[in-house]
Amino acid sequence: MNRIRRIIQTLSLLLINSNYAVLQKFGIYQGKFKQFFAPALNCYACPLARFACPIGTLQHFIAIRQVPYYVGGFILGLGGILGRLPCGFFCPFGFIQELLYKIGSFKIRIGKNYGYLKYILLVIIIPWVYLSGEPMFCKFCPAGTLEGGIPVMLSPMRNDLISLIGWHFYFKLGILIFFIMLFMAVKRPFCRFACPLGAIWGLTNRASLLSMKVDTLRCSKCDECREVCPMDIRIYEDPNHFDCIRCFKCIDVCPENVITASFMGIPVLKKEKIPKGVITGGIK
Partner 1 sequence: MKLNIHASPFIITIMKRLLAALALILFSFYLITTGKKHEDHIETEFNANLLCLSCIGIE
* Site of interaction with partner 1 (CB under 8 A): 28-30, 34-35, 43-45, 52-53, 56-57, 60-61, 64, 66, 68-77, 79-81, 134-135, 138-139, 141, 144-145, 148-149, 152-153, 161, 164-166, 168-173, 204, 206-209, 211, 264-265
135 residue type, one letter = P
| Four-CA torsion 249, 253, 259, 260, nearest 10 degrees | 60
Using alpha carbons, select from 201, 196, 26, 185 the residue that is nearest to residue 100: 185
Using alpha carbons, select from 92, 80, 83 the residue that is nearest to residue 40: 92
C-beta of 121 vs 228, nearer to partner 1: 121
CB of 41 to partner 1, least distance (A): 11
CB of 147 to partner 1, least distance (A): 8
CB of 30 to partner 1, least distance (A): 4
Greatest Cα pair distance in the chain: 73
Determine the Cα–Cα distance for residues 43 and 172; give it in Å rounded to an integer. 14
CB of 22 to partner 1, least distance (A): 13
**3-class secondary-structure state, position 259:** strand
C-beta of 113 vs 163, nearer to partner 1: 163
Determine the Cα–Cα distance for residues 3 and 252; give it in Å rounded to an integer. 11
C-beta of 117 vs 209, nearer to partner 1: 209
Q: How far is CA 132 from the centre of its chain?
A: 27
Using alpha carbons, select from 129, 151, 131 the residue that is nearest to residue 140: 129
CB of 158 to partner 1, least distance (A): 11
Give the phi and the psi of residue 149 in degrees, each rounded to 5: -60, -55
C-beta of 76 vs 117, nearer to partner 1: 76
C-beta of 175 vs 185, nearer to partner 1: 175
C-beta of 72 vs 256, nearer to partner 1: 72
Pairing status of strand 266-270 against strand 210-214: unpaired
Using alpha carbons, select from 124, 148, 146, 147 the residue that is nearest to residue 136: 124
C-beta of 75 vs 233, nearer to partner 1: 75
CB of 112 to partner 1, least distance (A): 22
CB of 102 to partner 1, least distance (A): 27
**3-class secondary-structure state, position 43:** coil
